[in-house]
Chain A
């Protein structure tokens, strides 16, 4: 086995880091959209809104039951053949869309569990003072559910950052795509993929630190 080419690795790192913002942006956009969608799906499930509840169950079942890569190919390569407007959709948008739908299916379930875990008597208390369902959700349930759900949601965010690497299969030059290109130019595959692995690792570890800090803060909330 040959020694590692450290100089190449040191030179490659700054080149790859230029693609990190795109990776993080896709993950952040996906996460924001997924949070909104997942909250809606969770509320539909909790309130058992007729028709929508059934549709939500189907949605969750499909997006949890199929691989993310298959979903991305379906949106990017498959759908444009059926729906003409979708030919406009570029790889980045398709990735964000795919991440949103895929992860919202998982996140909806953890948000729902957090909501259902809140003592039912608080719901009755809120209704008894004349709050509407929407006020009850906004003022009482969601703030408490957030606190319970945040640690799990952070895990999904970390997972989502790693999953953005699949975007390179849709021709997006993000962190993984850029590494692939660099590596096929230099033929130093091991070095190149080691560098990108370390970059992902550092990003995820940083987020894990943030997650632990957040958890501590949230556990302190509501007791004073």
Chain B
């Protein structure tokens, strides 16, 4: 089980995360929604220690760390049990698709190259890019790049994969192939924490939807409950706005 307790993060006088408590069961798929600037990305980045929270505790894979006092070792250990999928893919531009997926196995996990490449090939097969193994990111479409980004996260065999708006930067034509891959991962019960504006995905896939506003978790629950019967006025207002843009989803 993964646990985040009383997480607080400030940028100067701006309190971006204001005491986040969250526990995630193994195999659980959680979708985080909320208005822009509420700290959704910051929450994911603090869990991965791309940012250091000012206080709070993070427990993952048997290691429990006080975020404010995490040592370099702790941070590496925690990072190695999570994986991150970025909005803008963030593939390594000097490595082809195969090497992007294999990199972590070779460098972080110390696998021999041949074994890492064999594993990376399996993953490319699964994400439908076996024929693009030699292609560099610059030669891939946005959708293909993001699938490689997810492949790189899959190689980590992580306790938890963090997705920060994985489809927001994509042209609409590529969104479905990425969401499809995420659905397949969810079907295998890969634990995931997903920030997204794709409400249909949240409905179909999430075990739990979390609504964040102003650095706090305002409301959470199973998607059919949260989408049809939100308790808090802020949730209702947010959903009205989003569902107006995605009318097919209105209850």
Contacts and interface: CB of A to CB of B under 8 A. Distances in A.
Interface of A: 118-119, 121-122, 124-132, 135, 139-140, 143-144, 147, 221-224
A110 B88 CA distance: 27
Given A130-B80, A222-B136, A223-B138, A121 B104 contact: no
Contacts of B48: 128
14 contacts: A119-B90, A119-B93, A121-B88, A124-B50, A124-B86, A127-B79, A128-B84, A129-B83, A129-B104, A131-B108, A140-B94, A144-B94, A222-B93, A224-B134
* Dominant secondary structure at the A interface: helix
B139 interface: yes
B96 interface: yes
Contacts of A130: 76, 79-80, 104, 108, 156
Interface string B68-108: 00000000100110111010101111101000000110011
B92 A126 contact: yes
A124 B136 contact: no
B135 interface: yes
Contact of B139 (A122, A139, A224): A224
A29 to B, nearest CB: 29
A116 to B, nearest CB: 15
B79, B107, B156 — most chain A CB neighbours (10 Å): B107
B152 interface: yes
B83 A125 contact: no
A129 B103 contact: yes
Contacts of A127: 50, 79
B108 A129 contact: yes
Nearest to B96: A224
A185 to B, nearest CB: 55
A175 B82 CA distance: 60
A118 B136 CA distance: 16
Contact of B90 (A122, A131, A139, A143): A122
Nearest to B99: A139
A121 B92 contact: no
Contact of A125 (B91, B136, B138): B91
Interface string B191-223: 000000000000000000000000000000000
A224 B86 contact: no
